Structure 1
Amino acid sequence: MFDQFLTFKLDLIKSEMINQANIAYKSVCGLDVRLLRVLRLICDEPGITATAVKGQTLIEKTLLSKLLAELIERKLIRRTIHPGDARQFELWPTVAGKRVRKDSNELGLKLEEEMLSALSSREREELNRIADKLVEAFRRSAATESAKYSG
């Protein structure tokens, strides 16, 4: 019954892919998908604030605080007081964090290739194109809704 809905199918695919990725990432990098998602973003945008990380990763504030504390404890990121707003921190990758990110990206590409092996190369490209289009549409919609209620 539920399998007729695209949202159910997407959730099933996502859950299965994350479960498989968590097993591989934990054994190779010692981190799960959520921790790597946060680490990758900090590596891509050094000096980013936790508020911006929350907005881009869609991770709830309390959980994000725990993830950041774990990454700091593992010395994969560091934080500094934001020069323009002492109430906020800037987050920076460490050398070790950059190395873990690089290793995890290589593994991630291999994992994704394996997990999507039921699709042809052309189908994978099309799936990515469609997913990008939907993500962009949802982000525009969310920004419009946010602006409507904040102003």
Structure 2
Amino acid sequence: MLEKKTFQNERLTYRLDIVAQEAIRANDAIFLRETGCRIRELRVLRLVDDSPGTTFAEILKSTGLERSLTSRIIQSLLAADLIYRENSPEDARVFFLRTTEKGKQVRRIARDLSDRLEVILTEPLSADEMAQLNGLLLRLGRWVTSAKYKESLHDACVI
């Protein structure tokens, strides 16, 4: 009997995306049940908690999510009393986001859950392999966000 292929495409970006999406899909319902929030909502909550006073534009840039989805997530977090907003005294169109005490508690629960789920996700890897994977991802992350990478794309006439 032939073994089912894990990936339909062997491109690196495809494989990274599939691994991430499968893990998110498997864990999203767990996060929703335990915290009342989906993974994307928790990511935004974490960003607000890490940077009190952050703005919509900063969250948009940090997450890479679509504008309308980011807006819906923020509205959901506001409605759940996990974050609150303050209008800018200089520009009424700008508002600053901060985490409520309830939001901080949800984030603590999510962090503990995330730690436990990550152990399960990385179970097939040894400690040395995890260290190597983390180092490689850090290098790739720095590279794809660098000016040199964008310059290389431009030079290759890709963009």
Partner of 2:90 in structure 1? 84
Inter-partner Cα distance in structure 2 for 1:93 and 1:137: 32
Inter-partner Cα distance in structure 2 for 1:53 and 1:116: 28
1:2 shift after superposition: 3.7
State the SS of the aligned residue for 1:90. strand
The code of the aligned residue for 1:105 comes to R
Query: How large is the Cα RMSD of the aligned pairs?
Result: 2.0
Consecutive unaligned residues in structure 2, runs of 5 or more: 1-6, 152-159
Aligned partner of 1:13 among 15, 19, 30: 19
| Identical residues among aligned pairs (%) | 32
Partner of 2:157 in structure 1? none
Consecutive unaligned residues in structure 1, runs of 5 or more: 146-151
State the SS of the aligned residue for 2:61. helix
- 1:51 equivalent in alignment to 2:57: yes
1:128 shift after superposition: 1.3
1:59-70 maps to which residues of 2 (within 5 A)? 59-70=65-76
Partner of 2:120 in structure 1? 114
State the SS of the aligned residue for 2:84. strand
Structure 1 44/7 Cα, relative in aligned 2: closer, same or farther at 3 Å? same
1:85 shift after superposition: 2.6
Normalised by the size of structure 2, how large is the TM-score? 0.85
State the SS of the aligned residue for 2:43. helix
For the pair shown, the structure with the greater C-alpha radius of gyration is 2
Partner of 2:34 in structure 1? 28
The code of the aligned residue for 2:74 comes to L
Normalised by the size of structure 1, how large is the TM-score? 0.89
Partner of 2:156 in structure 1? none
State the SS of the aligned residue for 2:146. helix
Greater shift, 13-22 or 92-101, is seen at 13-22
Inter-partner Cα distance in structure 2 for 1:34 and 1:48: 17
